[in-house]
Amino acid sequence: MNLRVRFAETDQMGVAHHSAYIIWFEAARVEWLRARGLDYRRLEAGGVSLAVSAISVQYHRSSRFDDELHVAATLTELRSRRVRYRYLISRDDEEIATGDSLHTPIDASGRVIRLPSVWLGALQKHVMT
């Protein structure tokens, strides 16, 4: 997905604050699903959330207000209790940041559950290791 760095996302160093990247990763996951005909709202409506259990970001270059960034998400691991994405944020040909997020399927009360098999099946063909 593409996005513009918002003014509110900058900090007094004149660059996008490092916490914004986490939010861009999340937005990219949602768009990644949509591009494959899947809808994260529908997953949640069915009582399943993909809680974030770990995240990491490596910041290679700073990004600035109004920069147009591309955020690529890749599903790198898919198991019934463990989903992993990798990210690459770029601006034109420059690598801005990379990252990784690990997710655990939980139900509405926060308990760890197995990802429903219909979702496992729909996602399986999109795993890229």
89: nearest Cα among 81, 100, 105: 100
Nearer to its own copies, 11 or 124 (CB): 11
Query: Cα dist. 58→1, 18, 22, 37 in Å?
Result: 19, 10, 11, 30
Q: How far is the CB of 10 from its own copies (least distance, A)?
A: 4
Nearer to its own copies, 6 or 36 (CB): 6
What is the 3 state secondary structure string of 59-121?
A: ECCCCCCCCEEEEEEEEEEEECCEEEEEEEEEECCEEEEEEEEEEEEECCCCCECCCCHHHHH
Q: How far is the CB of 97 from its own copies (least distance, A)?
A: 10
Residues 6+ apart with CB under 8 A from 61: 91, 94, 95, 96, 97
Q: How far is the CB of 34 from its own copies (least distance, A)?
A: 9
Nearer to its own copies, 55 or 123 (CB): 55
Q: How far is the CB of 31 from its own copies (least distance, A)?
A: 8
Nearer to its own copies, 67 or 122 (CB): 67
Which residues here bind its own copies, judged by CB under 8 A? Answer: 4, 6-8, 10-15, 17-19, 22-23, 26-27, 30, 39-41, 44, 49, 51-59, 62, 64-66, 110
